[in-house]
Amino acid sequence: FFFFGIASHRRGGDDDGDRRRRTSDVTTSATMATDESKQVAAGGELNMLDMVEEFSKRGNQIFVSMRKGKDYPPTCCDVRAQYEETILDLKKKVEEATGVPVDKQLLFWHFVELTEAYDNKTLLDLNLHTGFSLTGYDLTETPHYWPPVTQTPEGLKMVTKSTYPNEMPKKVITEGYVN
């Protein structure tokens, strides 16, 4: 029979008994430390408000992948940052996680380079939340861009069908340092 849209096969026994056994095996638990001041739910679980507060203290989890030259796969990390922290703060955390100095990071968000003009903008200003990702290049080696990039007055922009749906730019850059 079908249960939640998934086909399952009976192997003897009654339907209700099988279903009870399957669902009784499923448990949920929070993996956060508790202290005596926290309201604890049944089974040692934190209540939902405490979980939200705890995750809020940890900050937004931002994923970053940094390509270096022709190396594959890229270096990937995740950093935690609060909404009021700036892009420069985020770049410093990426430096801590990857070892790539801030001045050697070329980061992109929504296909657009995060130039120095973004350094004082906060995560909240850019609407950057948990689960978002940044892609970038480690400029300690000559970068090889994929997708290619193009120079705009605001900085570099990745060249894709979504960023240039009507007509591709005439000059695209696939490798090398860009001034």
Instruction: Write out the residue range of the structural domain in which residue 64 sits.
Output: 59-175
CATH number, domain containing residue 159: 3.10.20.90
Q: How many domains does the chain have?
A: 1
Percent of the chain with pLDDT over 90: 65
3-class DSSP assignment, residue 38 = coil
pLDDT digits (tens, 9 = 90+) for 16-65: 554 444 433 433 333 444 444 455 555 556 677 776 676 667 889 999 99
β-pairing, 60-68 vs 105-109, is unpaired
Say which residues have a Cβ less than 8 Å from residue 142's Cβ, sequence separation at least 6: 69, 175, 176, 177
Residue 162 lies in a domain: yes
Residue 72 lies in a domain: yes
Length of the chain: 179
